[in-house]
Amino acid sequence: MKSRVLLCSLLLASGVAAQVTRVSSSSVVSDPKPAPSPGRFDAGADSGANGTLVSVSDLEVPARARREFDKSNELLRKQRFSEALRELNKAVNIYPRFAGAFNNMGVIYAHLGDTACERSSLQTAIDLNDRFELAYVNWARMDLASANYKDADIALRKASSLDMSDTTPLVLLAYSALAQGNSQEALTLSQKAHARGGSHAFAHRVAARVLEQRSQFAEAVAELKLCLEEQPVGPGVDAASSELQFVESLIH
């Protein structure tokens, strides 16, 4: 009988890091009388969200609020979270209906470990724009981190219905299914995400974990190799590499 794989917890950082909103310059008009702009709203390259999901309120962001928002994003890239939060507060003081800014506040509070403020900020983002796919995804990440799978699944299904082109909800649903012991559903969702194209390294780790549980080690190795091909650097790479070496040792 083959050795049983000792499974460590999948690193949440590999697949559920919160995502921030970025607004393109064409989406913001000048003060003092903001009006709707036809410009594209970019919810972030990693999210897959597109301009059809933005509320009118975010298309009306005044230039002064945008400048504070841009300062915050630059500080976020440097992981200067407290300073980034201060700039976002300035942005929402100028424009209280800035859903993207409240989403980013939620991201910052997640980094700072303040779950109550994270939840409040994301709830405000959703209240301002109930079609804000990225805010639902970040809400789900928050619930996944606290093992609240039921509410995470609700948020992820909502997000998926809002933007079928974004496979992030599918990947996180796969993780949730695995965490709840629904291995077949986890494998199916991982494969569905992969079939839609793009890079889904974390989906391959989820699929590998299911296959390891079934002692299908060769298939698990293939999934882990795909994971590392699609994400050769970044969070979770070392863990995936170690897992690959271990599973390969079970084949010989």
- For 159, half-sphere exposure in the C-beta direction (CA atoms, 13 angstrom radius) is 27
Q: Could you tell me if residue 184 is inside a domain? A: yes
Verify that 35 and 135 share a domain, yes or no.
yes
Q: Alpha helix (H) ranges present in the chain?
A: 12-15, 56-59, 63-77, 81-94, 99-112, 115-128, 133-145, 149-162, 168-179, 183-195, 201-213, 217-230, 237-249
| Last residue in a domain, options 110, 135, 166 | 166
Q: Could you tell me if residue 13 is inside a domain? A: no
Verify that 195 and 83 share a domain, yes or no.
no
Amino acid found at 169: P
| Last residue in a domain, options 111, 144, 166 | 166
Q: Could you tell me if residue 87 is inside a domain? A: yes
* Residue with token string 């499974």: 7
DSSP-derived 3-state class of residue 159: helix
Here the CATH number for the domain that contains residue 128 is 1.25.40.10
Give the pLDDT of residue 235: 80
Number of domains in the chain: 2
Verify that 123 and 204 share a domain, yes or no.
no
Verify that 162 and 174 share a domain, yes or no.
no
Give the pLDDT of residue 199: 77
Residue 105, domain extent: 19-166
Token readout for 249 is 């040792």
Mind listing the pLDDT tens digit for each residue in 88-116?
A: 999 999 999 999 999 999 999 999 999 99
| Last residue in a domain, options 145, 166, 187 | 166
DSSP-derived 3-state class of residue 29: strand
Verify that 172 and 127 share a domain, yes or no.
no
Task: Give the span between the Cα atoms of 27 and 229, in whole angstroms.
Answer: 35
Verify that 135 and 51 share a domain, yes or no.
yes
Token readout for 74 is 């630059």
Mind listing the pLDDT tens digit for each residue in 27-85?
A: 333 232 222 222 222 223 233 333 334 454 566 889 999 999 999 999 999 999 999 99
